[in-house]
């Protein structure tokens, strides 16, 4: 699956309903050109702890399988969910994040983790063959 804002939005809607009870508002979506980072969630936080500009970025440099794009997007959605419910305003890979990953891995047969071996990920046709062996998902 080649990544576009349109198909990431569609997957977000599906996964939001299926795994998060539909509670997450639609964030901004960006397609990055990273070979090292498959996905990234970030937002602005003001001096009062209010958040805005919630954004999920997914690398457009890979031809993801269905399970790979699901795992990358759900990983970022867990960051968003923990921010949204007020548990983790810094969007880190802390205790609650790891707990949710483990629950999703068991319940939904996912492969969520903090780092990932990129050797199973296919670079999109026409892109460089240079890639990193180990990737950090933010």
93 in helix, strand or coil? Answer: coil
DSSP-assigned beta bridge partners for residue 89: none
CATH number at residue 64: 3.30.2010
pTM of the model: 0.88
pLDDT reading at 133 higher than 50: no
Sheet with 28-32: strands ordered across:
28-32, 51-59, 39-45
Structural domain total, the chain: 1
- pLDDT the model gives residue 10: 96
Bin 40: left if φ > 0, else alpha if -120 < ψ < 50, else beta. Answer: beta
Cβ atoms of 131 and 35 closer than 8 Å: yes
Closest CA to 123 of 36, 56, 30: 36
- pLDDT the model gives residue 127: 60
* Domain housing 83: 5-136
pLDDT reading at 46 higher than 60: yes
CA torsion, ordered 92, 93, 94, 100, to nearest 10 deg: 120
- pLDDT the model gives residue 137: 54
């Amino acid at each position: 699956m080649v990544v576009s804002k349109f198909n990431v939005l569609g997957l977000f809607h599906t996964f939001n309903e299926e795994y998060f009870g539909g509670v997450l508002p639609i964030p901004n979506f960006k397609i990055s050109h990273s070979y090292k980072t498959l996905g990234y969630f970030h937002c602005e936080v003001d001096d009062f702890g209010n958040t805005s500009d919630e954004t999920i970025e997914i690398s457009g440099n890979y031809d993801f399988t269905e399970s790979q794009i699901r795992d990358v997007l759900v990983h970022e959605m867990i960051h968003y969910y923990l921010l949204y419910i007020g548990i983790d305003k810094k969007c880190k890979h802390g205790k609650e994040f790891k707990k949710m990953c483990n629950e999703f891995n068991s319940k939904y047969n996912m492969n969520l983790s903090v780092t990932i071996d990129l050797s199973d990920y296919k670079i999109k046709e026409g892109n460089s063959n240079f890639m990193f062996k180990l990737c950090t998902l933010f």
